[in-house]
Structure 1
Amino acid sequence: MQLTTHTWGAGDRVALLVHGMMADHRTWRRVGPALADRGYRVVGVDLPGHGGSPRGGGADGARRYRLDDMALALAAACPHGVDAAVGHSLGAVVLERAIGRGMAVERAVYSDPAWRSEPHDLAPARAYKHATRDEIRAANPRWEAAAVDDEVACLALWDPDTVTVLEPPPGLPASAVRPSLVLLADPSERVTPGGQELLRARRFALRTVPGAGHSIHRDDFPGFMSALSGWV
């Protein structure tokens, strides 16, 4: 499966951005140019079932999206020699899985990763496909207007069957294969305090962005970029 990508900048270093569930490369509207200004060639990937990338195949009633397949597709779309990769939510899960299977990345940042260990009702996520602009704005009062517009456009292209990649929940990774930073919302609904202690024991560095919700880079862009200090 060939994924759609979007590029900012033309620097000597390479940064990879992997969006979360329901989004696509547009979620990085501010992050991509900011990293390009730091000297990176920044590549934003649309995961399967999102943005301009292909939908999942298979017979009617068959499971059309699998985490390992997404990880393989990401690795195939990944530029050679990635210096830094950032994944948000589902994107963090897919990125970690791809790195664990050999995708070459020097440093990884996982932004409020969807590493739940307990089963979670995904029906509300499916229903969000039909959220209106006003509902998106009400749910995300800290977002700028352009981010709300992006979300509307992303939802129009998103295949809600992608939620099945989180069934069963992926749980916490066993170890940090590469130098890895986990950025957390305040509080994080996806990584519990106990889970945070386990991640530290498994060689992940952790930072929290005070007051930020799940979509840290859209809730508090300056806080998000500051939290990347020393990693990107």
Structure 2
Amino acid sequence: MELHIHERGAGPRLALLIHGGMADHRTWHAVERRLVDRGYRVIAPDLRGHGLSPRGDYGPELLADDLVANLPQGADLAIGHSLGGLALSLAAARLRPRRAVYSDPGFRPGDIPPGAVAAMRAMVENADRRSVRRAGPRWSEADIDAELAGFALFDPAFLAATEESFAGDHLPAGPVVPSLVQLADPSFTITPATAGLLRQRGFEITTVPGTAHCIHRDDFEGFMASLEGWV
């Protein structure tokens, strides 16, 4: 599937930014700006069913195949949040970025609290500026704008597919490139036991204190500080 691709910057280094579920490339606006200032060219796709990308069948392998078909190999950096972290992990061996960062990644749907999908569906259906502000009290006005824009373009059928085709254990056997798993405090998607297993398998683990699932919006400076040595 041909994805909608957002690109910014003209620096000598290349970063790929993969958004999470119900969002689109605009969720990365602040991260994108900081990376461009640090000499990166940024490429950020809209996953299928999100943003301006087409709708279709849904499943983690399809998301990964789309990334491989639409993004360049050998980027200096790739960051995937939540669902985007899962898709990136399944594509990493083919995309071969020099470094990969998985921000509160959705490797194991079974680790996500019961009822989360129903709550996400209700969030999208009833979203307004006030409800998004309640969910993200520390977010900037631009973050709220981006969230509402992503909700407006999101395909609700994706959530039904999430409950069906995304079930199972997609925990990576090990990093195929140097890889950081960045966790919220507490993580929405990774239990302490799973974090320990990832560490045993060779992933570096870091936690950004006091953050919820969208670390890059809850504490942007904390998000960037935790990536020192990776960006």
Give TM class, smaller chain: over 0.9
TM-superposition CA deviations, 1:154-187 (whole Å, max 9, x none): 1000012223246314442111111100000011
Partner-residue secondary structure (3-state), 2:101: strand
Assess if the C-alpha contact under 8 Å between 2:74 and 2:95 holds in 1: no
TM-superposition CA deviations, 1:173-227 (whole Å, max 9, x none): 1111111000000111211111111000010000100101100000000000111
What percentage of aligned pairs have identical amino acids?
A: 51
Q: 1-side partners of 2:183 and 2:82: how far apart?
A: 10
Partner-residue secondary structure (3-state), 1:174: coil
Write the mapping of 1:203-218 to structure 2, written as runs, cut at 5 A: 203-218=202-217
Calculate the aligned-residue CA RMSD, in Å. Answer: 1.4
Match of 2:123 in 1: 128
Partner-residue secondary structure (3-state), 1:87: strand
Assess if the C-alpha contact under 8 Å between 2:82 and 2:104 holds in 1: yes
Assess if the C-alpha contact under 8 Å between 1:117 and 1:172 holds in 2: no
Letter matched to residue 199 of structure 2: R
Match of 1:15 in 2: 15
Distance 1:103 1:80, change over 3 A: closer
Q: 2-side partners of 1:220 and 1:13: how far apart?
A: 25
Q: Is 1:4 the counterpart of 2:4 in the alignment?
A: yes
Deviation at 1:115, TM superposition (A): 2.0
Match of 1:84 in 2: 77
**Equivalent of 2:149, from 153, 156, 166?**
153
Assess if the C-alpha contact under 8 Å between 2:83 and 2:105 holds in 1: yes
Deviation at 1:80, TM superposition (A): 3.5
Partner-residue secondary structure (3-state), 2:95: coil
Partner-residue secondary structure (3-state), 1:110: strand
Q: 2-side partners of 1:15 and 1:151: how far apart?
A: 22
Q: 1-side partners of 2:168 and 2:29: how far apart?
A: 29
Assess if the C-alpha contact under 8 Å between 1:31 and 1:217 holds in 2: yes
5+ long unaligned stretches in structure 1: 57-63
Partner-residue secondary structure (3-state), 1:98: helix
Match of 2:229 in 1: 230
**Equivalent of 2:64, from 71, 76, 82?**
71
Deviation at 1:117, TM superposition (A): 4.8
Match of 1:180 in 2: 179
Deviation at 1:68, TM superposition (A): 0.8
Q: 2-side partners of 1:170 and 1:36: how far apart?
A: 35
Q: Is 1:103 the counterpart of 2:102 in the alignment?
A: no
Match of 1:168 in 2: 167
Deviation at 1:33, TM superposition (A): 1.2
Assess if the C-alpha contact under 8 Å between 1:18 and 1:87 holds in 2: yes
Distance 1:124 1:169, change over 3 A: farther
TM-score (norm 1): 0.92
- Equivalenced residue count is 224
Match of 1:60 in 2: none
5+ long unaligned stretches in structure 2: none
TM-superposition CA deviations, 1:56-97 (whole Å, max 9, x none): 1xxxxxxx2111111111111112421100000000000000
Q: 2-side partners of 1:189 and 1:153: how far apart?
A: 23
